[in-house]
């Protein structure tokens, strides 16, 4: 099987130029028509000021078998009239991106296929399906994409500079996972400061049809003892932070404005709740310059019989007995952890870099 990027289906017209903009009525009409097709019959529909967002399962055939890949389609309402898509990483069920699926951005899951005008939404889904059939998009961990090698190139230095300008010490750029992780400080009118743990996944390449960077993904991660609260910007189930203007207008020069936009959205609607007190709060400090006080004290990992009895995310047959730190997810059996860590260094459940692991006994 070839490992080259599959061509776009010939039924998809070339994308419009950047000066051509979408007609919202075209987008609405295309979505209504798509919902009446087999691909769109069970779609979950969301709408932002910029896009209509469709969560679907793309069915494709490989070696005589039918497989389904969770995919998110973005049908633009404003700006250039191009459809976009990415694989929904929150619904992969332990699978990972295939090593030779070069049409997938390994960090954000964006699908690098030329986006057509919105009026050809069904044809675009057909082109995505054709790519899946040429090179299967998902695999088990043995075929996973290796993490990018650590580098300190110009983009890395630019990111580090923007993080320092936002506030020193609260956020860190991690080249191996091409992500920014840490805390977003939120200061309220009464002077109280709360901190929200976030992860920002930075895309690694350019979209071939757009010649501009693809969009980053922003997630809230609830620490032990807290839960994510669903807000107008934050998805409660996945922690995905949506409806951000500077995500849509992404470029490394937009990182600073994006961080401030995230901060403002959290100040407007705080996304975490303390499970014990049912209060919307996280680690608190009265000194805005004291960033170390924002980190919660280490807590014992959950080791209930129910948690231990769940299957390893790699072999799916043996009980989980390995706890990874610092995220404290119970993920592997003892037979699979060494093999997994030789190929990847991030938690398969939350993508936080693994610094060490412990074996938990029942």
Which residues, 6+ apart, have CB-to-CB distance to 268 below 8 Å?
Answer: none
Query: Residue 199 — very low, low, confident or very high, per pLDDT cuts 50/70/90?
Result: very high
Residue-wise pLDDT tens digits, 292-307: 333 333 333 333 333 3
Question: Does position 210 have pLDDT exceeding 80, yes or no?
Answer: no
Q: Per residue in 185-197, pLDDT tens?
A: 988 888 788 889 9
The better pLDDT of the pair 150, 165 is held by 165
- What CATH number was assigned to the domain covering residues 305-359? 3.30.40.10
Q: pLDDT class for 220, splitting at 50, 70, 90?
A: very high
Q: Per-residue pLDDT averaged across 270-283, rounded?
A: 64
The yes-or-no answer to whether 24-143 and 305-359 have a common fold is no
Listed by start position, the domains of the chain span: 24-143, 154-294, 305-359
Q: Give CA–CA dist 254/245, Å, rounded.
A: 10
Q: Which pLDDT belongs to residue 308? A: 36
Residue 149 predicted with pLDDT over 70: no
DSSP-H helix ranges across the chain: 24-35, 121-134, 154-166, 245-248, 255-268, 305-308, 337-341
Whole-angstrom distance, CA of residue 48 vs CA of residue 76: 9
CA torsion, ordered 191, 272, 71, 142, to nearest 10 deg = 110
| pLDDT tens digits, 321-348 | 888 888 778 888 888 888 888 777 777 7
48-55: average pLDDT: 85
End-to-end CA distance of the chain, in Å? Answer: 45
Residue 247, pLDDT score = 85
- Is residue 219 scored above 90 in pLDDT? yes
Mean pLDDT score, 46-70:
86
CA distance 96 to 109: 10
Strand order in the sheet with 84-87: 44-47, 51-62, 65-76, 84-87
- Cβ atoms 330, 309 nearer than 8 A: no
| Beta-bridge partner residues of 74 | 53, 84
* Residue 5 or 252, more confident: 252
Domain 24-143, CATH homologous superfamily name and number? Ubiquitin Conjugating Enzyme (3.10.110.10)
d(CA 1, CA 335): 31
pTM (two decimals): 0.50
pLDDT of residue 279: 46
Residue 150 backbone phi and psi in degrees, to 5: -60, 135
CATH 2.60.40 fits 154-294, yes or no: no
Q: According to the model, what pLDDT value does residue 306 have?
A: 37
Q: What proportion of the chain, given as a percentage, has pLDDT over 70?
A: 73
Task: Kindly give the pairing relationship between strand 284-285 and strand 217-220.
Answer: unpaired
The predicted model gives 160-175 an average pLDDT of 83
pLDDT confidence of residue 83: 83
């Amino acid at each position: 099987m070839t490992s080259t990027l599959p061509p776009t289906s010939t039924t998809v017209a070339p994308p419009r130029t950047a000066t051509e903009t979408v007609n919202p009525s075209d987008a609405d009409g295309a979505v209504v028509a798509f919902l009446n097709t087999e691909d769109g019959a069970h779609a979950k529909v969301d709408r932002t000021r910029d896009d209509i967002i469709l969560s679907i399962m793309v069915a494709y055939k490989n070696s005589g078998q039918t497989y389904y890949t969770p995919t998110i389609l973005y049908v633009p309402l404003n700006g250039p009239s191009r459809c976009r898509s990415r694989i929904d990483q929150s619904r992969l069920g332990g699978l990972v991106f295939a090593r030779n699926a070069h049409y997938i951005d390994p960090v954000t899951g964006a699908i690098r296929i030329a986006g057509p005008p919105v009026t050809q939404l069904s044809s675009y889904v057909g082109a995505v399906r054709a790519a899946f059939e040429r090179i299967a998009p998902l695999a088990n961990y043995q075929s996973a994409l290796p993490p990018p090698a650590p580098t300190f190139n110009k983009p890395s230095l630019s990111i580090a500079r923007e993080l320092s300008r936002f506030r020193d010490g609260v956020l860190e750029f991690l080249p191996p996972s091409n992500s920014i992780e840490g805390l977003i400080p939120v200061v309220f009118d009464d002077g109280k400061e709360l901190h929200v743990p976030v992860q920002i996944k930075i895309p690694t390449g350019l979209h071939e049809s757009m010649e501009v960077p693809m969009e980053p993904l922003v997630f809230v991660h609830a620490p032990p003892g807290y839960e994510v609260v669903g807000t107008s910007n934050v998805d409660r189930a996945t922690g995905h932070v949506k409806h951000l203007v500077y995500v849509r207008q992404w470029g490394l020069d937009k990182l600073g404005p994006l961080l401030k936009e995230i901060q403002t959205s959290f100040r407007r609607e705080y996304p975490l709740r303390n499970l014990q007190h049912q209060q919307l709060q996280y680690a608190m400090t009265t000194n805005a310059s004291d960033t170390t006080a924002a980190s919660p004290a280490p807590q014992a990992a959950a080791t209930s019989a129910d948690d231990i009895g769940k299957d390893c995310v790699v072999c799916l047959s043996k009980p989980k007995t390995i706890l990874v730190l610092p995220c404290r997810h119970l993920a592997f059996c003892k037979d699979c952890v060494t093999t997994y860590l030789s190929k990847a260094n991030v938690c398969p459940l939350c993508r936080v870099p693994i610094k060490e692991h412990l074996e938990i006994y029942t």
